[in-house]
Amino acid sequence: MFKALNKTNPEVFPLIIREFAKQFYEHQHYDTMNGWIVLSCDGSKMDLPLTTELKERFGGVLNQTIVDESKVKKPQASCSVLVDVINHVILDACVRPYKTSELPMLYEHLENCRDLLQGKKVMILCDRYYGSAELFFYCKLNGYRLLVRAKSYMYKDQVREIESDGNIHLVINKAWMRRLKREDCRSYAEQNPELDIRAVKSHYEYTFNHYKRRQHPPVIIDSVYLTDLYREEFPKETIIDLYHTRRWDNETAYFDIKNHLEAERFNSGKYNIIVNEMYGKILCYSICGIIYSRVNEIIIEKQKKDANLKKLYAHIPNMKYICDAIRLEYKFLQCIVLDLASGDFKTEYLKCLEDDCSRHSVPVRPGRHYKRWGRWMSWIPTAKFRIDGRRNPPIEKCYKSKGYCTVQ
Query: What is the structure's pLDDT at 388?
Result: 45
Sequence-distant (6+) residues with CB within 8 A of 45 are 76, 77, 78, 79, 98
Query: What is the structure's pLDDT at 395?
Result: 80
Please, what are the domains in the chain?
2-263 (3.90.350), 273-364 (no CATH), 370-408 (no CATH)
Q: For the chain, how big is the Rg over CA atoms in Å?
A: 23
CA atoms within 13 A on the CB side of 26: 9
Query: What is the structure's pLDDT at 327?
Result: 84
Query: What is the structure's pLDDT at 386?
Result: 47
DSSP string across 230-288: -TTTS-HHHHHHIIIIITHHHHHHHHIIIIIS-TT--S---HHHHHHHHHHHHHHHHHH
User: How far is Cα 123 from Cα 38, in angstroms, rounded to an integer?
Assistant: 5
Sequence-distant (6+) residues with CB within 8 A of 371 are 210
Nearest alpha-carbon partner for 12 in 60, 4, 209, 227: 4
Report how far apart, in Å, the C-alpha atoms of 61 and of each of 17, 26, 81, 385, 391 are.
29, 42, 22, 19, 22
DSSP string across 22-62: HHHHHHS----BTTBEEEEEEEEEEE----HHHHHHH----
Task: Say how many residues make up the chain.
Answer: 408
User: How far is Cα 270 from Cα 273, in angstroms, rounded to an integer?
Assistant: 6
DSSP bridge partners of 224: 201
Query: What is the structure's pLDDT at 63?
Result: 83
pTM: 0.85
User: How far is Cα 170 from Cα 277, in angstroms, rounded to an integer?
Assistant: 45
Q: What is the pLDDT tens value at each position of the chain, 408 positions in all?
A: 888 889 999 999 999 999 999 999 998 889 999 999 999 999 999 999 999 999 999 998 888 888 887 788 889 999 999 999 999 999 999 999 999 999 999 999 999 999 999 999 999 999 988 989 999 999 999 999 999 999 888 888 888 888 888 899 999 998 889 899 999 999 999 999 999 999 999 887 766 555 445 556 776 778 899 999 999 999 999 999 888 888 888 888 888 898 888 888 888 889 999 999 999 999 999 999 999 999 999 988 887 777 665 667 788 899 999 999 888 777 777 777 655 556 677 778 888 889 999 999 888 877 665 566 677 778 776 654 444 444 566 788 887 778 888 876
